[in-house]
Amino acid sequence: MATFSAAGEIKSQWGEGPVWWGDTLYYVDIEGHLVIAWHPGSGTEKSWQVGERVGTVVPRQSGGLVIAGDNGFRFLDIESGELSFLSDPESDKPDNRFNDGKCDPSGRFWAGTMHLNKPRQPVAALYRLDADHSKHKILSDITVSNGLVWNRAADTFFYIDTPTEQVVAFDYDSGSGNISNKRLVVDTMDFKGVPDGMAIDENDNLWVAMCHGGVIRCFDSSNGQTLEVLETPTLEVTAPAFGGADLSDLYVATGQSGITEGDPLAGHLIFTEDASVKGVPSFSFAG
């Protein structure tokens, strides 16, 4: 059984989007409007108030970070904390905001939006921000865009639109950044919780946070079979990421809600050293 501990002191309202880069784990507190950096080597953490709900953060090759939130894509200068505008593809949709995202192996930033009102409607989308800062709508009719990863061969893209309760795959062309040939990989309908953020390991297995369910499920990406289930000490798990010096630690962002009242770990970034495999390096934005 995996043992999880808190990483750092910050307790997010709704943590999301962990990504390991260099020697640091970056993630966001969506409702707290924070980008957070946890440095396990020194045990220090730093945060930046960005003044809006922020769904995801990725590193930038030339330095600093890139975020996607209420006001679209922005650069974040980690020295000054200043934001600079890049693009807002849904400025005409005040009931949507950006949610999860990652950079692909070619340095493009993929991030999707979600509909905020309930009942949620399929009026969101998945976008790709290229190194030349051009934006491209990749998928439409999305409701809550969430986990996304690429396999090691960089020829397959895996994706979650949470209300579908599915992980789907597409053929991925690393040269053009285009995807095609959608197919079902995992149906999570019979599992507790709903699929949220996702990581991939060195064996191309998929690690999916089952939000409201308190578990991280590992699936074989070739046939969708469950390989491992890690129970976590808090129910609102939102996204996993491999980190540490050799990518053998598993970090999990978490949130707070009505079902976590009285839970001291709810909202904390948590981690375990008991993951059975290692992750793969993350990618940074090339623009």
Catalytic residues: 196
Whether the CB-CB separation of 206 and 258 falls below 8 Å is answered with: no
Instruction: Specify the 3-state DSSP secondary structure of 164.
Output: helix
- Side-chain half-sphere CA neighbours of 256 within 13 A: 15
Q: CA 155 to CA 252: how far, in whole Å?
A: 26
Q: CA 111 to CA 203: how far, in whole Å?
A: 24
Q: Which residue has the tokens 């976008």?
A: 127
Nearest to 110 by CA among 83, 149, 140: 149
Q: Provide the 10 A C-beta neighbour count for residue 194.
A: 20
DSSP letters, 218-256, are EE-TTT--EEEEEE-SSS-EEEEEEESTTS-EEEEEEB-
Calculated CA dihedral for residues 222, 228, 231, 234, nearest 10 degrees: -20
- Side-chain half-sphere CA neighbours of 192 within 13 A: 12
The phi, psi pair for 164, rounded to 5°, reads -75, -20
Q: 76: phi > 0 → left, psi -120 to 50 → alpha, else beta; which?
A: beta
- Side-chain half-sphere CA neighbours of 43 within 13 A: 1
